[in-house]
Amino acid sequence: MAIKLDIKDIAASYGAVRALHSVSLNLSQGQTVALLGTNGNGKSTLMKCVMGMVRPSRGSIHLEIDGQTHDLTQLSTQEIVNLGVALVPEGRRLFPKLTVEENLLLGAYREQARSQIADNLAFSFEAFPVLAERRKQLAGSMSGGQQQMLAIARALMSSPRLLLVDEPSVGLSPLLVSQTITKLKELKDRYQLTVLMAEQNFNQAMRVADYGYIIVHGEIVFHSDVAALKENDLVKSFYLGGSH
């Protein structure tokens, strides 16, 4: 039961705009890896490449699951989801006029997850008690922090082996950012989730990550374990002193 993501030297463009130049990144079972960068540096594009929503013009993305290797650049988003990869998109993308429970049920469309709906719903409510209390409330009427919890829980409804989380802190107050990161850490510790998280909030990301990559203008400029990352001068000049 092992999972491994191996991104090698990918480039990606939107028409004439090159968003990724040469990005390599590795992630293995049980790890939480942070992809750190300020706005416009290519974090979401990398996430979309993994999900098959943007096709790299060069390089490879291999996902190894239980000894079998899949070339994600050749698969549709649907096929990638069916392999057990889930994305919590930037900006959450909930259905505001549907209830909490309805949003969660829509997360269970992955074939393998359909038979586990009851278990996964129970799991979501256990992991996020606030969602159980508000299961009949319209998603759009909840606070930003609660909506982020719902977006994460919706992704968990697909029983993912690999969870991608794109900027969970965006648009949240500092307190809610901290609560969301604490929740991700709790999920990781309790359920040994394998997570790739894009963030610009360096200090919060460091609370949950094991390893970090710094992306600047579509290139990885530095990567290391968290201890070395905090000591890196480049990181200090970019991030420390800015975000909390």
Ligand X SMILES: Nc1ncnc2c1ncn2[C@@H]1O[C@H](COP(=O)(O)OP(=O)(O)O)[C@@H](O)[C@H]1O
d(CA 189, CA 54): 31
Site string for Mg ion, 179-218 (x = CB under 5 A): ----------------------------------------
- Shortest distance (Å) from residue 36 CB to Mg ion: 12
Q: E-assigned strands of 52-154? A: 58-65, 68-71, 85-88
- Shortest distance (Å) from residue 152 CB to Mg ion: 16
d(CA 196, CA 211): 10
**Partner from ligand X, Mg ion, none contacting 45, C-beta within 5 to 8 A by type:** ligand X
- Shortest distance (Å) from residue 66 CB to ligand X: 31
Site string for ligand X, 25-44 (x = CB under 6 A): ------------x-xxxxxx
Binders in 42-101 for ligand X, by CB under 6 A: 42-45
Query: Do β-strands 194-199 and 32-36 pair in parallel, antiparallel, or remain unpaired?
Result: parallel
Residue 26, both tokens: 């590795």
- Shortest distance (Å) from residue 15 CB to ligand X: 7
C-alpha 120, offset from chain centre: 19
By C-alpha distance, which of 186, 230, 188, 237 is closest to 216?
Answer: 237
Question: What kind and span of H or E run contains 221?
Answer: strand 219-225
Query: Do β-strands 162-166 and 194-199 pair in parallel, antiparallel, or remain unpaired?
Result: parallel
CA-only gyration radius of the chain, Å: 17
**Partner from ligand X, Mg ion, none contacting 14, C-beta within 5 to 8 A by type:** ligand X
**Contact flag: residue 19 with ligand X (CB under 6 A):** yes
- Shortest distance (Å) from residue 118 CB to Mg ion: 34
**Partner from Mg ion, ligand X, none contacting 68, C-beta within 5 to 8 A by type:** none
**Contact flag: residue 44 with Mg ion (CB under 5 A):** yes
User: Total residues contacting ligand X (rule CB under 6 A)?
Assistant: 11
**Cβ atoms within 10 A of the Cβ of 211, count?**
18
**Contact flag: residue 17 with ligand X (CB under 6 A):** yes
Q: Tell me which residues touch ligand X (CB under 6 A).
A: 14, 17, 19, 37, 39-45
